[in-house]
Amino acid sequence: MSISIHIITENKKDFLPLLLLGDELESDIDKYLERGELFALYDGDVKSVCVVTDEGGGVLEIQNIATDKRYQRQGYASRLIEYIAGHYAGKYDKIILGTGDVPGVLVFYEKCGFTPTHRIPDYFTTHFDYPIIEDGVTLKDKVYLERKLRTAMEETNTNKNEPLIFKELPKEQRKALQKEFAGTAESKKMSRTLIIVAVIFGAVVITGAFIGIMTDHEGFFATFPTFFICIWPAIISQQKFEKWLAEEKNIVMKKGKKNAKADK
């Protein structure tokens, strides 16, 4: 079953059981749920949710991100973050988030493109009347991280022919396949340049032959075979290259589908 991501605008409290995995207090969730955008990732049923708020000045904040305990560590949260980053690219400058000082959690966010910026000492010990424990770690400081978003210009310059399947992949896999895909596109540009050069060369030969027409009519008839001798190898090479390029793109697409399937 394919993955789909939706923005939820009504009955947001229906997702409260999942949201409580990311935030201990319902009263805290109530502070941002209605003013924020709620994203839900479905793979059959809902697997992961995320609430993002506009903090002004081109800054977004992930207030809550949580995945059903039965489906954690299967790539759903990272896929949701990549979708959200793409959704807001060109509209906002960056996304920030605050989390507990837990090594595994911080490594996860860094893999998703976030970098630590600052921390609030003793946040969890002063904000809660009871210990908050995550991955066996009793939370104390709150660590803030941020991820820069693509500008409008960068978004425009993103490969428009990039297969949609790439957008479903984690960041590292996506980058590797983007590079491969861009390589085939660059090769296509090069081949077109070569055939244009061959056509220009053939035109020069024809022009030179026509100059001789005034004194030698046989030069006129020699022009056409000379032209085809120049241009024909380029035409054949272009046809072979187009076939190879199609095969290469097909291989890259298959890799993308295979990686997306494996990451579920």
Question: Which CATH superfamily, name and number, covers 4-158?
Answer: Gcn5-related N-acetyltransferase (GNAT) (3.40.630.30)
pLDDT in tens, 165-190: 455 555 555 566 556 555 555 555 66
- Using CA atoms, how far apart are residues 96 and 107, in angstroms rounded to an integer? 15
Token match 């995550």: residue?
134
12: phi then psi, degrees, rounded to nearest 5: -65, -30
Tell me which of 10 and 172 has the higher pLDDT.
10
- Using CA atoms, how far apart are residues 148 and 136, in angstroms rounded to an integer? 30
* Choice among 23-32, 44-53, 139-148, 219-228 with the minimum mean pLDDT: 219-228
SS3 157: helix
The predicted structure's pLDDT at residue 264 = 46
- Using CA atoms, how far apart are residues 175 and 171, in angstroms rounded to an integer? 6
SS3 54: strand
pLDDT in tens, 189-201: 665 666 676 667 6
pLDDT, mean over the chain: 79
